């Protein structure tokens, strides 16, 4: 997936912050690392991240099938990209950050349809089939690592689609925690999905009738009604939702949040008013990524630094 400028359809509030963002871009290319020396660079720059040349390349440190989870981090982490995204352009920050912190990390592409994979556009196919692809991948990860369960971190559709796997495809026995970055948990407006396509060249032609997942993610769709009937959560799984009040894709932004047992909902701006990030910047937001680490390992809670985060770019 490639990202070109100018970025279109950003919310007025977000667009107004670009002058501030321009002043801090240089400081965002490589973000803060763990206290110990990190063998992998952590890229907090969405403009570079979303311009990755190969949509099928594993993100840094991911898909090392010889990795064995440690006693400190006994569950491998599976990264799940969003609509129109791929595993390479979504995880240039979070994958190396997790590896540097001692996790076994795995990532997949899912949801190619109607030739979209040839253009590096994923996450557009029927979500029920995408959930089955995730189920197969998780089974492979567990077999390779010897772990009993995985933790899942997903962006956008990737934070919502695993709920289908957990609820309907036996994932509750294989998933310990599900962490969503701006997940489309209760659907969004078609305008929001069209805005997302406008950010990512090549995605426009897969909206509408070609993008089954787009229609399924509309608020009020039969898919959403089925997913959320009987409650948002499954008792065996811990849920964390990390969201920005500036999200222009999942609208209203509060539709990302879950209710139920073992749920934590986080609004980034409540932690740091300098965080101007929106939907696309979420995987490249250092505050959101520290929240992910905390959700994976709550016994070693870290306080994220309240330093600026820019729309799309992150930081």
Report if residue 309 sits inside a domain. no
Report if residue 306 sits inside a domain. no
Please report where in the chains the tokens 């009604």 appear, as a residue.
225
pLDDT classification of 209: cutoffs 50, 70, 90 = low
pLDDT classification of 207: cutoffs 50, 70, 90 = low
Task: Quote the mean pLDDT of the chain.
Answer: 87
Contact 187, 217 (CB under 8 A): yes
Q: What's the CA gap between 187 and 112, in Å, rounded?
A: 20
- Residue 283: CB partners within 8 Å, gap ≥ 6? 46, 49, 90, 91, 93, 94, 155, 181, 289, 314
- Is a pLDDT exceeding 50 seen at residue 17? no
Q: Is 142 exposed, middle or buried (0-12, 13-18, 19+ CB in 10 A)?
A: middle
Report if residue 114 sits inside a domain. yes
Report if residue 246 sits inside a domain. yes
**Chain segment 125-180, per-residue pLDDT in tens:** 999 999 999 999 999 999 999 999 999 999 999 999 999 999 999 999 999 999 99
Report if residue 140 sits inside a domain. yes
**Chain segment 74-90, per-residue pLDDT in tens:** 999 999 999 999 999 99
Report if residue 112 sits inside a domain. yes
**Chain segment 283-296, per-residue pLDDT in tens:** 999 999 999 999 99
Q: What's the CA gap between 304 and 286, in Å, rounded?
A: 8
Q: What's the CA gap between 61 and 107, in Å, rounded?
A: 10
53: number of Cβ within 10 Å: 9
CA angle, 253 as apex, 248 and 257 as ends, to 5°?
A: 145
Give the DSSP letter of residue 205: G
Residue 259 has a pLDDT of: 97
- Domain of 43, in residue numbers: 12-300
Report if residue 315 sits inside a domain. no
Q: Could you tell me the strand order of the sheet in which 77-80 lies?
A: 105-108, 77-80, 150-155, 175-181, 238-243, 263-267
Strand partners, 241: 180, 265
Give the DSSP letter of residue 314: B
- Is a pLDDT exceeding 90 seen at residue 100? yes
Is the omega angle on the peptide bond into residue 244 within 30 degrees of 0, that is, cis? no
Is the omega angle on the peptide bond into residue 181 within 30 degrees of 0, that is, cis? no
Report if residue 269 sits inside a domain. yes
Give me the CATH number covering residue 93. 3.40.50.1820
Counting the structural domains of the chain, the total is 1
Residue 126 has a pLDDT of: 97
Mean pLDDT (whole number) for 86-101 = 98
CA angle, 85 as apex, 263 and 139 as ends, to 5°?
A: 60
Residue with more model confidence, 207 or 189: 189
């Amino acid at each position: 997936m490639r990202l070109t400028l100018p970025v279109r359809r950003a919310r007025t509030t977000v667009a107004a912050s670009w002058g501030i963002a321009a002043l801090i871009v240089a400081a965002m290319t490589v973000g803060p690392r763990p206290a110990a020396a990190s063998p992998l660079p952590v890229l907090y720059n969405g403009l570079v991240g979303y311009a990755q040349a190969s949509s099928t390349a594993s993100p840094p440190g991911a898909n090392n099938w010889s990795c064995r989870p440690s006693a400190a981090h006994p569950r491998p982490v599976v990264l799940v990209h969003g609509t129109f995204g791929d595993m390479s352009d979504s995880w240039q920050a979070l994958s190396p950050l997790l590896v540097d912190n001692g996790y076994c990390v795995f990532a997949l592409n899912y949801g190619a349809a109607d030739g979209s994979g040839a253009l590096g556009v994923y996450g557009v196919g029927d979500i029920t089939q995408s959930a089955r692809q995730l189920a197969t991948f998780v089974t492979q990860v567990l077999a390779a690592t010897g772990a009993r369960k995985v933790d899942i971190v997903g962006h956008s559709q990737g934070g919502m689609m695993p709920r289908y796997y957990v609820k309907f495809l036996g994932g509750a026995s294989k998933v310990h925690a599900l962490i969503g970055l701006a997940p489309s948990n209760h659907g969004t407006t078609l305008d929001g999905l069209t805005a997302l396509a406008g950010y990512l060249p090549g995605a426009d032609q897969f909206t509408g009738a070609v993008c089954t997942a787009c229609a399924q993610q509309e608020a009020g769709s039969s898919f959403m009604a089925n997913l959320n009937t009987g409650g948002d959560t499954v008792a065996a799984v811990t849920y964390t939702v990390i969201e920005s009040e500036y999200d222009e894709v999942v609208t209203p932004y509060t539709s990302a949040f879950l209710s139920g047992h073992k749920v934590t909902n986080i609004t980034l701006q409540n932690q740091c008013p300098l965080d101007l990030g929106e939907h696309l910047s979420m995987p490249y937001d250092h505050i959101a990524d520290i929240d992910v680490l905390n959700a994976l390992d709550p016994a070693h809670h870290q306080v994220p630094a309240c330093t600026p985060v820019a729309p799309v770019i992150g930081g």
